[in-house]
Structure formats: C-alpha cells, structure tokens
C-alpha cells in the first residue's frame, strides 16, 4: 500500500526525530582537530589565489557567447582546483561538484530567469539551494540527477511564498488570505489568481502537476500540503514567546523535515518507508543548521529558535551545537544505509552538512565560549577570522559577482524556445493562468 504523508505521519516522524535528538550526546570528541595551523595557511593561500582568478574573469567578462563559454570552462576548472587543494576532495568528489551540482545550479538559474526575468539574484540563489538538495536526493533514490519541471517549480515557491509571508510590508490579513488560497491551490483548486503574485505561484504548482498528475502521484501533493501546514504552524506559534525547548524542536523538525520530504517526493514521485524517513531526517538537520546560521538575524527580529532561546537565557551555544554535530552523524549514518547512491556522494553530503555547522560557528562566534571556538576552528579548513573577513569582502563586491552570475546565466546561446523546460511549458504557464 502506498504511503500517505498526512498529519499523523508527520507527527510520528517529528516524535521519532525528537527521540533521536534527545539520544545524541554533546561529545567534545566531535571537535577533535582535523587541520593544523600550517594546513590553514596553505588553504587560505589557495583560496585567495582562486578568488583573484575569479575576480579577474569577472572584470574581463567577454561579450561574445563563444568567448563566455570558454570563460565558464576556466572558472569551473579553477573551482575544481580549489576544491581539490583547499577542501581535500578526491577526483570523484570534485567531479560530482563540477559535473553534476554546478551545472544543475547554472541550469536552474537559467530556467528561473526564463520563468520570471524580474526574479532577483538573491532569490534565485535561495531557491537554488533547495534545488541542489533535490538533486542530491535523486541519485539516493535511484534516478538521474538534474533539474526537472517539478524541482524548478517547488524550489521557486520558496522566494514567492516564504518571503511573502515573512515580509513586514505585507499586512497580516493579506498573508492569511494568501496562505488559505495557496492551500486550496495545492489541493487542486484552479481558482483564477487575484494578482500577478498569485499567478506566479499558481504557475509553479502547474509545473509540478504537469510532471506528476495528481491521480497517479498522490504522495507528491501530500508532501506539498505537509510543508505548507508546517510553515503555517511555525508562523502561528512563533507569536507565542512561552514555547518550551521541546515545542521549539518539534516546530523546527516539522518544517525542515517536510521540506526535504517534498524534495524527495518530487525527485521520483514516490518513496519507500526508509527513503521517506531518511529525507525527513535530512530536512530536520538542515533546518537546525539554517537556524544556527540565522541566529544573529533571528535575535534582531525576535524570532524564537532553539539557538535564540539559549542566547536569551545567557547560555553559550557550545552544548546545543555539539548535540547538533552528533545529530548530523546519526542522520548521515541513516543516509548511508540507503541502497542507491555512491559512497562518494554520501561522503560529500555529510561533509556539506558538517561544513554548514562549522561555518555557522565561525559567523556566530560571539555566542560561543573561547575554548569551544578554539577547538572548533581546527575542524575548519580555514581560520574563522579568515572566513569572516572573506565573507565581508564578498558582500562589498556584490556588483562584481553579479557580473559573474550573469556570465553563467546568460550563456548558452541556443534559442530558449528549444530548451527542454520551455517545451514542458514553464514559460507559458504564467500566461495560461493570468
């Protein structure tokens, strides 16, 4: 019998994840050194050398399509060299990045721009992060990796829905009305959109429906409704400042778990029980990682998370982040039990999850004890001060990197009407529902 991902199923997974979290020990061994000071120096030299090469290419971006294609090849080769030298990646892992994930990201950005030319670079990158998660899931589910209409549609829903619901400029009653209409659209309603924003959202749902007809793939739409419900619950309960740590954890697990569960459903259309639970765990982990990354901004906004709660209570984040690293290991162990996907891909995914946590520690350094920071820094291929300085420099050169972004997104040169996504109807969907 096909699994149905209703509220009862989600609640059972949240309970299971909470039990897993509570069983994770805050073990300092998880911060055992992996890099020496000399390692840091060598990798930082390599980082700066590659960034200088990237900046030079951006400043001298050619105009012709043929020349731009050659520039792209040089940039990808430069990234591969950096990955091998600075991140200790073996050739197979580097190939996964340069032949699978990078091309998928470029393809996604091109299709996003084709769908809506006014979409900002920041929104495109936000959506692309989800698309990469879906592309990482595809081989684990035994299907080829690549951007499909449904992955495009679901990933672009994030900037069109999350950012709208988070915006201070949108009145609460408008948010509630949109959320209700969006739920009905996910259930299959074809009501005429009220405005261009709704038309865009309706068109993205249509991309998913085009690849996965509702009658044949009910799990896909169960999962989309599950993430919608989790987002609504999170918004509603965030206004309650008296939430316990256990309640905060359940909200995070529901929102994150259902998000990646939907990615898995869209990757193949259905899941086994083991695959669904592994995807849910992955999402729960990523949600906590994102919350750690956003701790400073969340404190400013007054958003309540596991990490802002600890800071508000005057506690360093040492203990909770050690548990998060332990949780990461347990989630990775479950992923490794999946029968599909290469060991190298699974290594790369685990490395990316751990790197997310370590880089978040570097950024939110003021919320940790000096002893913890000293140990954590030797788990990073770069010194924390170096990472913060380069991130600041990157932020100051957004114009330069926008040129670089366009260099990839604006090339391939072929007539867009011949693209597979255009033939699937992605560009014309909005016109059909307005």
pTM: 0.89
How does residue 297 score in pLDDT terms, banded at 50, 70 and 90? very high
Residue 239's pLDDT is 61
Residue 10's pLDDT is 96
In DSSP notation, 49-60 reads HHHHHHHHHHHT
Instruction: Look at residues 232, 276, 289 and name the one whose alpha carbon lies nearest to residue 255.
Output: 232
Mean pLDDT along residues 395-420 = 67
Residue 274's pLDDT is 96
Mean pLDDT along residues 242-255 = 90
Q: What is the pLDDT of residues 116-153, one digit of tens each?
A: 988 988 899 999 999 999 999 999 999 999 999 999 99
Enumerate domains of the chain plus CATH numbers: 7-32+89-382 (1.10.600.10)
CA angle 167/171/175 to nearest 5° reads 75
Torsion angle of C-alpha atoms 97, 99, 105, 110, degrees rounded to 10:
160
Tokens of 4: 């149905």
- What radius of gyration do the chain's Cα atoms show? 22
DSSP 396: H
Q: What is the pLDDT of residues 191-212, one digit of tens each?
A: 899 999 999 999 999 999 999 9
């Amino acid at each position: 019998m096909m699994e149905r991902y209703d509220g009862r199923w989600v609640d059972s997974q949240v309970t299971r994840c909470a039990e897993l979290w509570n069983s994770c020990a805050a073990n300092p061994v998880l911060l055992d050194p992996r890099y020496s000071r000399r390692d840091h120096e060598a990798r930082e030299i390599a980082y700066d050398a590659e960034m200088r090469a990237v900046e030079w290419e951006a400043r001298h971006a050619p105009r012709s399509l043929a020349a731009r294609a050659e520039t792209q090849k040089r940039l990808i080769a430069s990234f591969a060299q950096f990955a091998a030298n600075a991140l200790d990646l073996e050739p197979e892992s580097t190939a996964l990045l340069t032949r699978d994930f990078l091309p998928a990201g470029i393809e996604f950005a091109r299709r996003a721009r084709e769908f809506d030319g006014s979409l900002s670079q920041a929104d495109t990158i936000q959506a692309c992060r989800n698309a990469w998660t879906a592309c990482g899931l595809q081989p684990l589910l035994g299907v080829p990796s690549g951007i499909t209409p449904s992955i495009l549609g679901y990933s672009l829903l994030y900037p069109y829905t999350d950012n709208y619901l988070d915006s201070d400029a949108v009145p609460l009653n408008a948010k509630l009305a949109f959320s209700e209409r969006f739920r009905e659209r996910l259930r299959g309603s074809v009501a005429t959109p009220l405005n261009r924003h709704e038309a865009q959202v309706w068109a993205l749902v249509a991309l998913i429906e085009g690849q996965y007809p509702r009658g044949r793939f009910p799990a896909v739409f169960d999962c989309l409704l599950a993430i919608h419900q989790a987002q609504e619950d999170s918004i509603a309960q965030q206004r309650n400042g008296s939430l316990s740590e256990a309640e905060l954890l359940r909200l995070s697990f529901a929102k994150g778990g259902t998000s990646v569960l939907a990615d898995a459903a869209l990757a193949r259309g259905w899941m086994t029980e083991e695959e669904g639970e592994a995807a849910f765990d992955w999402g729960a982990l990523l949600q906590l990682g994102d919350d750690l990354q956003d701790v400073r901004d969340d404190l400013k906004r007054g958003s309540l998370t596991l990490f802002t709660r600890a800071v508000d209570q005057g506690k360093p984040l040492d203990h909770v982040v050690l548990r998060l690293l332990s949780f990461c290991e347990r989630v990775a162990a479950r992923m490794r039990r999946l029968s599909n996907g290469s060991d190298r891909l699974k290594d790369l995914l685990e490395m990316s999850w751990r790197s997310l946590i370590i880089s978040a520690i570097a950024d939110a350094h003021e919320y940790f004890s000096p002893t913890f920071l000293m140990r954590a820094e030797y788990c990073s291929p770069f010194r924390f001060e170096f990472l913060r300085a380069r991130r600041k420099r990157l932020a100051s050169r957004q114009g330069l990197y926008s040129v670089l972004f366009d260099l990839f997104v604006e090339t391939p040169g072929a007539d867009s009407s011949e693209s597979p996504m255009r033939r699937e109807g992605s560009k014309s969907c909005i016109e059909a529902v307005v």
